[in-house]
Amino acid sequence: MNSQNGDREAILGRVREALRVPAPLKHPAERSAGGEPTTAHFREWLPPVGPSLDEKFALFAKLSETLRSELIVCADLAQAAAEISSLSSAESWKTIALHRGGLLDKLAPLLPSGLAQLCVDGGYDKNALEACDAGITECELLVAQTGSVCVTSDNSGGRVLSVLPPHHIVIARQTQLVTDLTEAYESLAAKYRANYPSMISFITGPSRTGDIERILVLGAHGPKRLTILLLP
């Protein structure tokens, strides 16, 4: 191998040599005004989402149901805490994991005192996290068109919290609901500029598999349940 990059120059050389003859574009799309990639047209073709907040919410709620996410609209943080409390007693939780954040810092003190809390910020023991009954995270955005929750390593407790415990609880505000992935990416770009978190993940329903006879089973490796607590 030529260097620590491997065969970089050789591969790029072959690529450039190969590209000397242009290939025709068989399916010209109208998008490339001036040749620059633009995403402006995508939403004209993808599944439609109504323009108002109500329509966005209605679609998100409908898709959540199809996806078997549990969407609970809460009047305030106290109600959110009460919802977690009742889930906790129904599933006999002992420990929940969470992270520091604007919403969670206010929510954490409201949670049942008998429920131990593991805060992942600053590092955690992976066996301890694996043993937790639920993980509570904030999120970046909710996506109406796809029923997705967008988490990042920056604001949702890192990479693992939202996927290792068997029950993932997301706490979000209605204002975080965006129309589609295009708006989601625009919003992330505006927030982080060039300095993106090392992970952006769109979570669409609880973990699932169809690997056995294409029959849907929830909780393949990630959470079996995904609960979204939506605050005004």
Partner 1 sequence: MSTLAEAPRDQFQTDANRTATDDVRRLAVRRALSNYQTARNRTGATFTDWKSARSAAATIKHEAVNHLDKYLEEFERKFTARGGKVFWASNSEQARNYILELAAARGVRSIVKSKAMTGEEIHLNPALLAAGYGVVESDLGEYIQQLKGEAPYHFVFPCMHLRRDEISDLFEKELGTAKTDNPEELTMIARRVLRRAYIDADMGISGGNFIVADTGMVSITENEGNARLTVGIPKIHVALIGIEKVVPCLGDLALLLPMLATAGTGQHLTGYNSMYGGPRQPGETDGPEEFHVVLLDNHRTRLLADPEQRDALHCIRCGACLNVCPIFKNIGGHTYGTTYQGPIGSVITPHFRGLQDWKHLSGASSLCGACTETCPVGIDIHHHLLRNRRNAVQEKPAPSESLVWKMFAFLMRRPALYKFASRFAPLGSMLHPLIERTALDPVRAWTDTRDFPSAPLRSFRSQFKAHQAQKAAAISQKGGAK
Q: Return the residues of window 18-77 that contact partner 1 according to CB under 8 A.
A: 18-19, 21-32, 37, 39, 41-42, 44-48, 63
Q: How many residues does the chain have?
A: 232
Residue 107's nearest CA partner among 131, 140, 74 is 74
Residue 95's nearest CA partner among 125, 126, 135, 122 is 135
Residue from 53, 109, 126, 175 touching partner 1 (CB under 8 A): that is: 126
Cβ(135)–Cβ(162) below 8 Å: yes
Residue 159's nearest CA partner among 193, 129, 204 is 129
Backbone angles phi, psi at 160, to 5 degrees: -105, -30
Residue from 57, 132, 205, 225 touching partner 1 (CB under 8 A): that is: 205
Nearer to partner 1, 172 or 206 (CB): 206
Site for partner 1 in 138-177 (CB under 8 A): 145-148, 153-154, 157-164
Q: Quick one: CA dihedral 74, 79, 81, 85, positive or negative?
A: negative
Residue from 68, 173, 191, 208 touching partner 1 (CB under 8 A): that is: 208
Q: How many residues bind partner 1 (CB under 8 A)?
A: 93
94 binds partner 1 (CB under 8 A): no
Residue 168's nearest CA partner among 215, 192, 201, 127 is 201
User: Which residues 6+ apart lie within 8 Å of 213 measured at CB?
Assistant: none
Residue from 51, 90, 212, 232 touching partner 1 (CB under 8 A): that is: 212
193 binds partner 1 (CB under 8 A): no
Nearer to partner 1, 97 or 231 (CB): 97
Site for partner 1 in 99-118 (CB under 8 A): 99
Q: Which stretch binds partner 1 (CB under 8 A): 16-24, 70-78, 81-89, 110-118?
A: 16-24
